[in-house]
Amino acid sequence: MSQKRLVVLLVLAALLFGVGTSRPASAADKVKLTWITHWNTEAQIKAEQALIDEYQSTHPDVTIVLQAVDFGDLLTKITTSNTAGTNADIYHVYNLWLPDFAKSKLLAIPPDDMIAAIKKNAAPAAVAGITVNGQIWGYPTELNTYLLNYNKKLLKEAGFDKPPATWDELKAMAPKITKKDSTGAIKQVGYAVIPGWDSGMVHPFSALLFSNGGDYLSADGKTVAFNSPQGVATLQLYMDLLKSGGMDVSINGMNDFPNGKVGMTIMANWWRSTLETSKNIDFKNDVGVAPIPVGPSGKASTTLSYNWLLGVDAKSAHPKEAWEFVRWLTSPRGEGKGSPMGDYLTSVLGAIPSSLFDQKAYNDRLNDFFLTPYIASTTNARPEPVIAGGQEIKTKLQTQLEAVLNGQGEPKAALDQTASEANDILSENQSK
């Protein structure tokens, strides 16, 4: 074969098969990844899509499809789609679910370099929160704690210039803030709980329990401890507030604090974006943040922390590409800069990033009257117990707390019953 003919054949082969040439990725070449999150407001989805677009601009061979669902549907969406074989590739996961996910082998173990980066860059509480059975299961994103949010205007109108530091002060102040209209209907309350949402009931209860010297779990983690005398006293605090008129079950802290109808409630730092955009309160002038009031058996104020993480499905057809996207989301954009995820968390959610370099890079966004106390609270916050069956136990406790507040049962009997059911769940999971 002549040299000229050989060259012609090689050129034809290159044109036909792409050998030795560069060409745009075709639809068939592209890797499609699905990312499920619970950030589902219009503003959040728009910002998430902007992150995806930024990534795809430098990774033309990857297409990322966003699925934003309501938090209440997220766990069901993850588990049912995985069972049905329609699983996503990347999840944003609440760390309480990790023991059950680890047991069912739903999540993939992160690459070694990512685990090393997490240990180096993430806050210790965040690392502990995403570790189960000694294994890190994903990259931690946001770290959240609960503190007392109060309406300065309502407290001032009732004659108070500062929030309560103790339960006794809370019980004395709350009824004086409560007001009724001419018909006797409650139009504002001193303190409000957040029924209808498991975290809204259980997390503030736990923060008050911890600040009363109590525990959620026994030291060995084999039984629950929220029915201890300290736990019964915590639920009795709610009952005392109801009896005095300082609290009313018709007023929901989550809905009514932003409407200016609540003097005090306990909520997490990510609530900032809601309060900041409310038209019924003056966020900068009227909203205050304070430590959890200390109970009679407590020595100091403390609170509960929990976090979220980005994980990859163990059955993903494209684990390499999925982890690469997670790595990009959580890595600094350059020397001294923050990550795309840190940018999103601080600019869109007002949340505290788990990565220490993000906290430093976006300090100007975090260093304000609202978030500074939350960041300070992370140093002594107690992580929410991450245990197998934890979500089921949490839901049972929520149901019982709400039942008692609605006149169905007494604090000790109700907590003892829930503890019995919870211990059966723990025992069943520990025996498997």
**Given this model, what pLDDT does residue 20 score?**
40
**Given this model, what pLDDT does residue 273 score?**
86
Q: pLDDT in tens for each of the 432 residues of the chain?
A: 555 554 445 444 444 444 443 344 455 578 999 999 999 999 999 999 999 999 999 999 999 999 999 999 999 999 999 889 999 999 999 999 999 999 999 999 999 999 999 999 998 888 988 999 999 999 999 999 999 999 999 999 999 999 999 999 999 999 999 999 989 899 999 999 999 999 999 999 999 999 999 999 999 999 999 999 999 999 999 999 999 999 999 999 999 999 999 999 999 999 998 999 999 999 999 999 999 999 999 999 999 999 999 999 999 999 999 999 999 999 999 999 999 999 999 999 889 999 999 999 999 999 999 999 999 998 889 989 999 999 999 999 999 999 999 999 999 999 999 999 999 999 998 876
**Given this model, what pLDDT does residue 4 score?**
52
Q: Where are the beta strands (DSSP E) in 224-325?
A: 262-268, 287-290, 304-312
Chain region(s) in the chain for CATH 3.40.190.10: 31-144+306-382, 145-305+387-431
**Given this model, what pLDDT does residue 1 score?**
52
* CB distance 345 to 139 below 8 Å: no
Topology, domain 145-305+387-431: D-Maltodextrin-Binding Protein; domain 2 (3.40.190)
Domain 31-144+306-382 in CATH 3.90.650.10? The answer is no
Cα Rg, the chain, nearest whole Å: 25
Is pTM beyond 0.85? Reply is yes
**Given this model, what pLDDT does residue 184 score?**
87
Instruction: Provide the 3-class DSSP secondary structure of residue 131.
Output: strand
* CB distance 259 to 188 below 8 Å: no
Interaxial angle between packed helices 390-405 and 229-244, expressed in degrees from 0 to 180 and rounded to the nearest 10: 40
* CB distance 204 to 194 below 8 Å: yes
Whole-angstrom distance, CA of residue 102 vs CA of residue 124: 21
Distances (CA, A) of 316 to 80, 115, 170, 312, 328: 15, 19, 51, 7, 18
CB neighbours of residue 15 within 10 Å: 11
**Given this model, what pLDDT does residue 11 score?**
44
- Kindly give, in sequence order, each residue whose CB lies less than 8 Å from that of residue 116, ignoring residues fewer than 6 positions away: none
* CB distance 101 to 110 below 8 Å: no
**Given this model, what pLDDT does residue 27 score?**
54
Nearest to 401 by CA among 392, 390, 391, 410: 410
Whole-angstrom distance, CA of residue 329 vs CA of residue 354: 13
- Which helix (DSSP H) or strand (DSSP E) does residue 36 occupy? strand 31-37
Q: Where are the beta strands (DSSP E) in 39-106?
A: 62-68, 90-94
**Given this model, what pLDDT does residue 151 score?**
98
Q: Where are the beta strands (DSSP E) in 281-347?
A: 287-290, 304-312
**Given this model, what pLDDT does residue 123 score?**
86
Distances (CA, A) of 258 to 47, 151, 156, 160, 252: 24, 9, 17, 20, 10
b/e for 343-369, b at 16 or more Cβ within 10 A?
Answer: bbbbebbbbbbbbebbbebbeebbeee
The first and second tokens of residue 147, run together, are 């503190």
